[in-house]
């Protein structure tokens, strides 16, 4: 047998052409988003140099609509950064109720023209947006950090997810809506299925994913043939404004997608009360989703509106005695504390089997002590700020309550010189008796730990399912049959085995929940766009055109 080196020398090249490059892993129809490895100097320093140009820039934004809007200082709000409230990012002029109504007028008028636009043209615009966001990644990342308090790693993931949404939904629209579907039927009859947009969609997005979720909602609705009124979260309106600017640059007509920054009582009331709103796509709290649902249902003489909602969760992870403690802790730290715990998918309740609980908690305490809290623009920072003072106060109230009950397990030290001017909350872990001890989701870096005996496993599963939240769930076990059985029993949208429970990938791990955690279908999934369209079947009696079609066909032979 020849030596391996001799075999290699006979090859024309050393590259294995059967292994696709990262950009090609999804095949020829969808290009993968471009990544940045922040641990490689040749990637990190050029990115930071480009981001530096936007770190002190002051933005002044207002609604992006189909008509001109005058400056209004009385309705303009200053935006400060969560990691240092002394620093301003710029200002946002909020939309008035009258402007929101006028924007809806324009969207309603534009709908039929946009719905008649060929799917390929709509998809091309969305793809161009993805390309532009890749090109402008440094600026969008800078805004994510300055306005939303996001870490650099979170910023890279955020922009990549938005780009993936654009390319995935463009591909799905062309495949699903780009041609008439012939349906089988009786001889002499033609049955065809057409799919088109529903009308005007309101897209109401959260601050924790101000580019990815915001972009995903808007492009999904628009590429499906709907006009869109986009209301970003009040806290992150500047970066949303920049995304819509890029969307218009990509060729999206201004009356098809309009941006309405503002508060819920002003803008939201228009978007949920007007009978011309045919659908709402929403990501945010469960309570807000229920308010929107009631408002849509209360409209008099209005068609039943579509509500696509992805809401919160009391996400749990079960760890059994066979799990590897070191791996468990790595995944728990990421799941509970990355993004300062401000993900709907974040881990809230960790169930540890008694046999391994002490060891896991010991390692967890050590890992939490090593976390660095501070400026999210610093690559060495592990945990950044929470979004605003209201969020901080609510989390601290819960923390103080559990501390008073002597339930503290571990708390990450927080240096005042790095955090005193921002809205920071230190990662903290507590023991509780069960998931039923929690009255609501705590949207921040707070982990709750429950010990359980192996004999109590069925009760644990019933307790988790009984809360009726069904977003994400994790199980750590080296017993494959055990992990598979638990995964099957959990009523959730996403189950993760022996890994963290955050960071779903578009088209690979479609994301979304059930019960109190959402309506479905799953974002970034095969069926998502179908919720944005109507179906029309046209049946034609071809025999009425002159003779039975089948007999005519026989006559040609």
Residue 551 has pLDDT above 70, yes or no: no
Catalytic residue among 147, 158, 161, 310, which? 310
**414 — phi, psi (to 5°)?**
-130, 120
Quick one: average pLDDT of 460-485? Answer: 97
Residue 548 has pLDDT above 70, yes or no: no
**Order of strands, sheet of 277-283, starting from the edge strand that comes earlier in the sequence:** 257-259, 227-231, 200-204, 277-283, 306-310
Distance CA 234, CA 240 (A): 10
Assess whether 144 carries a catalytic annotation: no
CATH of 316-506, one of 3.40.50.300, 3.40.640.10, 3.40.50.2300, 3.40.309.10: 3.40.309.10
pLDDT at 546: 64
Distances in Å between the alpha carbon of 423 and those of 82, 87, 267?
6, 13, 27
Quick one: average pLDDT of 8-28? Answer: 88
pLDDT at 468: 97
pLDDT at 11: 84
> If you average pLDDT over every residue of the chain, what do you get?
95
pLDDT digits (tens, 9 = 90+) for 88-110: 999 999 999 999 999 999 999 99
Distance CA 236, CA 61 (A): 12
Residue 288 has pLDDT above 90, yes or no: yes
| Residue 528 confidence class, pLDDT cut points 50, 70, 90 | very high
pLDDT at 557: 47
pLDDT digits (tens, 9 = 90+) for 29-77: 999 999 999 999 999 999 999 999 999 999 999 999 999 999 999 999 9
pTM above 0.85, yes or no: yes
pLDDT digits (tens, 9 = 90+) for 322-344: 999 999 999 999 999 999 999 99
pLDDT digits (tens, 9 = 90+) for 273-286: 999 999 999 999 99
Distance from CA of residue 172 to its chain's centroid? 18
**Residues 26-65, buried b or exposed e (16+ Cβ, 10 A)?**
beeebbbbeebebeeeeeeeebbeebeebeeeebebbbbb
Cβ–Cβ under 8 Å, residues 311 and 469: no
Distance CA 494, CA 479 (A): 20
Distances in Å between the alpha carbon of 231 and those of 189, 278, 386?
46, 16, 21
**Domain extents in the chain:** 95-311+522-535, 316-506
pLDDT digits (tens, 9 = 90+) for 125-182: 999 999 999 999 999 999 999 999 999 999 999 999 999 999 999 999 999 998 889 9
pLDDT digits (tens, 9 = 90+) for 203-246: 999 999 999 999 999 999 999 999 999 999 999 999 999 999 99
Assess whether 344 carries a catalytic annotation: yes
Quick one: average pLDDT of 424-439? Answer: 97
CATH superfamily of 95-311+522-535: Aldehyde Dehydrogenase; Chain A, domain 1 (3.40.605.10)
Q: Give the strand pairing for 189-197 and 408-411.
A: unpaired
Given this chain, do its domains 95-311+522-535 and 316-506 carry the same CATH topology? Answer: no
Q: What is the radius of gyration, based on Cα positions, of the chain? A: 26
Catalytic residue among 174, 215, 344, 441, which? 344
Distance CA 289, CA 309 (A): 7
């Amino acid at each position: 047998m020849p030596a391996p080196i001799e075999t290699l020398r006979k090859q024309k090249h050393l590259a294995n052409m059967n292994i696709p490059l990262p950009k090609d892993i999804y095949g020829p129809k969808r290009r993968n988003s471009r990544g940045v490895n922040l641990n490689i100097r040749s990637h990190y320093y050029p990115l930071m140099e480009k981001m530096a140009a936007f770190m002190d820039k002051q933005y002044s934004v207002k609604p992006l609509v189909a008509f001109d809007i005058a400056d209004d200082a009385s309705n303009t709000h200053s935006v400060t950064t969560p990691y240092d409230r002394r620093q301003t990012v710029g200002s946002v002029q909020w939309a008035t109720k009258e402007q929101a109504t006028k924007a809806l007028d324009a969207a309603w008028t534009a709908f039929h023209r946009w719905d008649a636009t060929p799917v390929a043209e709509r998809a091309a615009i969305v793809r161009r947006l993805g390309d532009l966001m890749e090109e402008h990644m440094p600026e969008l990342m800078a805004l994510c950090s300055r306005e939303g308090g996001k870490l650099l790693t979170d910023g890279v993931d955020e922009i990549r997810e938005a780009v993936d949404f654009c390319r995935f939904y463009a591909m799905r629209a062309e495949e699903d809506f780009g041609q008439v579907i012939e349906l089988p039927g009786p001889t002499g009859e033609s049955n065809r299925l057409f799919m088109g947009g529903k009308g005007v969609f309101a897209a109401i997005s959260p601050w924790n994913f101000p580019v990815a979720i915001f972009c995903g909602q808007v492009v999904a609705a628009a590429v499906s043939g709907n006009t869109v009124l986009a209301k970003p979260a009040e806290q992150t309106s500047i970066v949303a404004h920049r995304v819509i600017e890029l969307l218009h640059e990509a060729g999206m007509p201004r009356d098809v997608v309009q941006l309405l920054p503002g508060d819920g009582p002003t803008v939201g009331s228009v978007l949920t009360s007007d009978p011309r709103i045919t659908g709402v796509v929403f990501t945010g709290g469960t309570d807000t989703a229920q308010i929107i649902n009631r408002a849509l249902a209360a409209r008099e003489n209005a068609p039943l509106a579509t509500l696509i909602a992805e809401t919160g969760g009391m996400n749990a992870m079960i760890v059994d005695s066979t799990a590897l403690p070191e791996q468990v802790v790595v995944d728990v730290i990421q799941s509970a504390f990355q993004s300062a715990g401000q993900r709907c998918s974040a881990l809230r309740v960790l169930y540890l089997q008694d046999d391994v609980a002490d060891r896991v908690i010991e390692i967890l305490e050590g890992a939490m002590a090593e976390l660095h809290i501070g400026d999210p623009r610093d690559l060495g920072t592990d945990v950044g700020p929470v979004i605003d003072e209201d969020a901080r106060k609510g989390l601290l109230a819960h923390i103080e309550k559990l501390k008073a009950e002597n339930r503290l397990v571990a708390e990450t030290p927080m240096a005042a010189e790095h955090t005193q001017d921002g809205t920071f909350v230190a990662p903290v872990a507590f023991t509780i008796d069960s998931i039923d001890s929690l009255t609501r989701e705590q949207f921040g870096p707070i982990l709750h730990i429950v010990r359980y005996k192996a004999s109590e496993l069925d009760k644990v599963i019933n307790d988790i399912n009984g809360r009726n939240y069904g977003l994400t769930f994790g199980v750590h076990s080296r017993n494959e049959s055990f992990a598979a059985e638990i995964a099957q029993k959990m009523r959730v949208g996403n189950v993760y085995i022996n890994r963290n429970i955050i960071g779903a990938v578009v088209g690979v791990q479609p994301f979304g929940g059930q019960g109190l955690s959402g309506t479905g279908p799953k974002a970034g999934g095969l069926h998502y766009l179908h919720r944005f369209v109507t179906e029309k079947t046209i049946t034609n009696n071809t025999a009425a055109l002159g003779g039975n079609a089948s007999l005519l066909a026989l006559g040609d032979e």
